[in-house]
Structure 1
Amino acid sequence: MSARHFLSLMDCTPQELLGLVRRGIELKDLRERGILFEPLKNRVLGMIFEKASTRTRLSFEAGMIQLGGQAVFLSPRDTQLGRGEPISDSAIVMSSMLDAIMIRTFAHSTLTEFAANSSVPVINGLSDDLHPCQLMADMQTFHELRGSIAGKTVAWVGDGNNMCNSYMEAALQFDFQLRIACPAGYEPKSELLTQAGDRVQVFRDPREAVAGAHLVSTDVWASMGQEDEVAARIATFRPYQVDRALLDAAAEDVLFMHCLPAHRGEEISHDLLDDKRAVAWQQAENRLHVQKALLEFLVEPAYHHA
């Protein structure tokens, strides 16, 4: 049997994604009540990082340990996929020793090529194209605080980056309307826009995009690998800063999310994360819980082998 992978939100059915969100909430409750739950005893997750990370590393490593398993961290110094050994060869060898592999990388093709040659589940911990695990945490956070997101309006303000791309897939899979406010030339991937159809609208004016929105989300203006563009991007994106006044244009019960790290004074005003509408800390914690649900879903429990 070929392994199930999670490279994109499109790798699961809408029902499976909703099930993962609900399971994330259950696993969070178990942890808060101090109940030990270790279905992945003796299972090992390999974590390959070609990009730096705080939340992705901590949430997968802690999550795997809490589920009774172990996680092995491989930094760019330890392994550079495709340099010195073809990605396909690395995938065959590594998947023969591990029970699942999480990869945080630049080119999305690294993930797809690795997954095609892996005998165990491969999880996208972030690529230049997509960040599906973060979207699952966002969906869990909304679900906890507001119930179903189906039929609601979500506004993305800023760069049409990997987070924005995953928000477009989420609009299809979780059944909400997405409005994207971005400067000309910084739109998300055109094939994803086509795929999303009338689920997604692109605006130049952030006020138009957030009008009546139930969820407003943003991200840094310059992602990893774009350090040389920072000054130009700050100038271009200045009108796209999310501040309290912009949130006031949204729905009364709006939630504000940011996948972190945040650059206060750039994509958000200095005080925004202190606003009662901002839920970035809960959102960050939920990476742990929803990824535990994902690991439980993808990795065959140890007792199946007993």
Structure 2
Amino acid sequence: MLNNIFYGRSLLNIDDFSADEINYLIDFAIHLKHLKKNNIKHEFLAGKNIALLFEKPSTRTRSSFVIAINDLGGHAEYLGTNDIHFGDEESVSDTAKVLGSMYDGIEFRGFKQQDVETLSKYSGVPVWNGLTDDSHPTQMLADFMTMKEKFGKLEGLTLTYVGDGRNNMANSLLITAALLGVNVHIVAPKSLFPSKANQELAQKYAQQSGAKVVITDDVDAGVKGSNVLYTDVWVSMGEDNWDERIQLLKPYQVNMEMIEKTGMNDDEIIFMHCLPSFHDNKTIKGQYIEEKYGLTALEVSDEVFNSKYAWQFTEAENRMHSIKAIVAATLGNLFIPKA
């Protein structure tokens, strides 16, 4: 096996990797994107079989893993909710042992963080967290890759997340930014602030990286000086508390007024969203929201979503390139010398 400091490792939380390692993976993803755009083969996973376990459905995560693995010369097998029986007919640990004996790597997208950790513990192969209720590390690689493509650097930028500060996206952005020396603001109602544990972890990493961490319910102060305004849906998959969340979060919609409140020039700020987004009424749920609440958009206005500031579709494409980087690095036939 060629020397590879990543080989055989799992990605369960973003801080499973050091800041230097995350930066390496971001640069590697940018390189792999260049190879794909120029039709240069990079089949580092030839002969490898990957299981994709999905308790929660997804457009971007499934497509990204399938295309990434195909481009790398491997084979991806999708196993949905009708194919896996976590805690119902078979324990997670038993499933892990079976799949680990057949597959070279496992992706998991579901609810419990404990499930992805159990898969890693008992499978004996690399496991990648495609999303849990607590964490979304593969999304982080795409997000910070997108920021680096736009600004040419990460350290010293200011990322502001606006909305539900307790969800998996807010948690992951808070920790990743603090690790990488990116100033991070979480702007949310006090009842939706990140947990004390996550705030303390972010502050620990920020002390090492020089990042500044701000947690506030003051929109004006929180968004000032932002290079990135980031938001997510107000009601996550599996939740149904629309009345409560809309009432709480209406003042936190990303709109042109909020863009102006950042005080940044047009080339100094972008908008990002992990998608899908309620920015108009062109979906069944969008029509339901308009009929019940009289709102044509929730977490972001359609004006911002389709503006010159919008980078969410580049971000979505980068899911595939960044997932390719982590899968290739942890399972592929690469030469990555130790520092």
For normalisation by structure 2, the TM-score amounts to 0.86
2:55 corresponds to which residue? 50
1:254 corresponds to which residue? 269
Deviation sequence 1:85-109 (CA, Å, 0-9, x none) = 1111111110111111000010111
Confirm or deny that 1:288 pairs with 2:320.
yes
The runs of 5 or more residues in structure 1 that have no matched partner are: none
In the alignment, the residues of structure 2 paired with residue 215 and residue 11 of structure 1 have an alpha-carbon distance, to the nearest angstrom, of: 25
In the alignment, the residues of structure 1 paired with residue 32 and residue 76 of structure 2 have an alpha-carbon distance, to the nearest angstrom, of: 19
Match of 1:117, SS? helix
In the alignment, the residues of structure 1 paired with residue 33 and residue 332 of structure 2 have an alpha-carbon distance, to the nearest angstrom, of: 21
Deviation sequence 1:183-209 (CA, Å, 0-9, x none) = 121112321111112642211122211
Match of 1:284, SS? helix
1:211 corresponds to which residue? 224
After superposition, the Cα gap between the structure-2 partners of 1:82 and 1:195, relative to the gap in structure 1 and judged at 3 Å, is same
Confirm or deny that 1:276 pairs with 2:299.
no
Aligned positions, number: 301
The partner residue of 1:175 within 176, 181, 185 is: 181
In the alignment, the residues of structure 1 paired with residue 36 and residue 110 of structure 2 have an alpha-carbon distance, to the nearest angstrom, of: 30
2:235 corresponds to which residue? 222
Quote the sequence identity (%).
36
CA deviation after TM superposition for structure 1 residue 302, in Å: 9.5
After superposition, the Cα gap between the structure-2 partners of 1:35 and 1:78, relative to the gap in structure 1 and judged at 3 Å, is same
In the alignment, the residues of structure 2 paired with residue 88 and residue 194 of structure 1 have an alpha-carbon distance, to the nearest angstrom, of: 31
Confirm or deny that 1:193 pairs with 2:206.
no
1:36 corresponds to which residue? 41
In the alignment, the residues of structure 1 paired with residue 87 and residue 116 of structure 2 have an alpha-carbon distance, to the nearest angstrom, of: 11
The partner residue of 1:146 within 141, 151, 156 is: 151
**Which has the larger displacement, 181-190 or 218-227?**
181-190
RMSD: 1.5
Give the letter for the 2:21 counterpart.
E
After superposition, the Cα gap between the structure-2 partners of 1:206 and 1:70, relative to the gap in structure 1 and judged at 3 Å, is same
After superposition, the Cα gap between the structure-2 partners of 1:302 and 1:196, relative to the gap in structure 1 and judged at 3 Å, is closer
After superposition, the Cα gap between the structure-2 partners of 1:143 and 1:302, relative to the gap in structure 1 and judged at 3 Å, is closer
Contact 2:174 2:186 in 1 (8 A): no
Segments of 4+ moved more than 2 angstroms: 300-303
The runs of 5 or more residues in structure 2 that have no matched partner are: 1-6, 207-211, 280-296
In the alignment, the residues of structure 1 paired with residue 38 and residue 125 of structure 2 have an alpha-carbon distance, to the nearest angstrom, of: 32
In the alignment, the residues of structure 1 paired with residue 333 and residue 103 of structure 2 have an alpha-carbon distance, to the nearest angstrom, of: 13
In the alignment, the residues of structure 2 paired with residue 301 and residue 171 of structure 1 have an alpha-carbon distance, to the nearest angstrom, of: 30
1:119 corresponds to which residue? 124
